[in-house]
A = this chain, B = another copy of it.
Amino acid sequence: MDRREVVDTALGILGRVGLPDLTMRRLGTELGVQQSAIYHHFANKQELLGAVADEILARGPHTDTGDAAGWLDQVRAACHDVRAAVLAFSDGADVVSSMFAFGLGGREAYDRVDKALAGAGLAAETEDVAVRTLLHFVFGHAIAQQTAEQAARVGAIDASSDPDDFAAGLGLVLAGVAAAATA
């Protein structure tokens, strides 16, 4: 058993039953091992979730827009890719967002958007603000969607979400970034 196998199994549980059921006991059982054995590969659950967050992003789509595309289309594609990656697992947005905030994972999300945004020619500080602002929206929207889906399953809410809703919100933020780029 190595770190990769633990992360793979954790992702399987996350995709099937979600974060509340991703317990060290269940993880140990599916690995055919005592839960305490996991602590020989990860210091604690949070460090494990950091590795899970990294793997969620790595497994997501990596759209190549081509060199002909402008920075705006590249940033849009990067945001859609990050969104697709975290939506592929139950509570994936929550896990990646939390681990990124804690500095324990999800760095790839920042790097991908940052790289795409480099062509905009913004000042370094403004570029950093723009990347984090975009990520707040991408993660926030995905968390809200996955939470609403969960709430609907419990019966607390009606689900019904507009599939174009994300693109519309992203368009608003990107319009603001574009305004800063031309100024």
Residues of B within 8 A of A148 (CB): 101, 103
Residues of B within 8 A of A35 (CB): none
Does any Cβ of B come within 8 Å of A174's Cβ? yes
Min C-beta distance of A92 to chain B, whole Å: 15
- When all copies of this chain in the complex are counted, the total is 2
How many chain A residues sit at the interface, stated as a range, is 35 or more
- 0/1 interface trace, chain A 148-173, chain B, CB 8 Å (1 if under): 10010000110000000100110111
Residues of B within 8 A of A104 (CB): 156
Contact B137 A102 (CB under 8 A): no
Residues of B within 8 A of A168 (CB): 125-126, 129
Q: How many angstroms from the CA of A168 to the CA of B177 in the assembled complex?
A: 11
Min C-beta distance of A116 to chain B, whole Å: 16
Contact B136 A172 (CB under 8 A): no
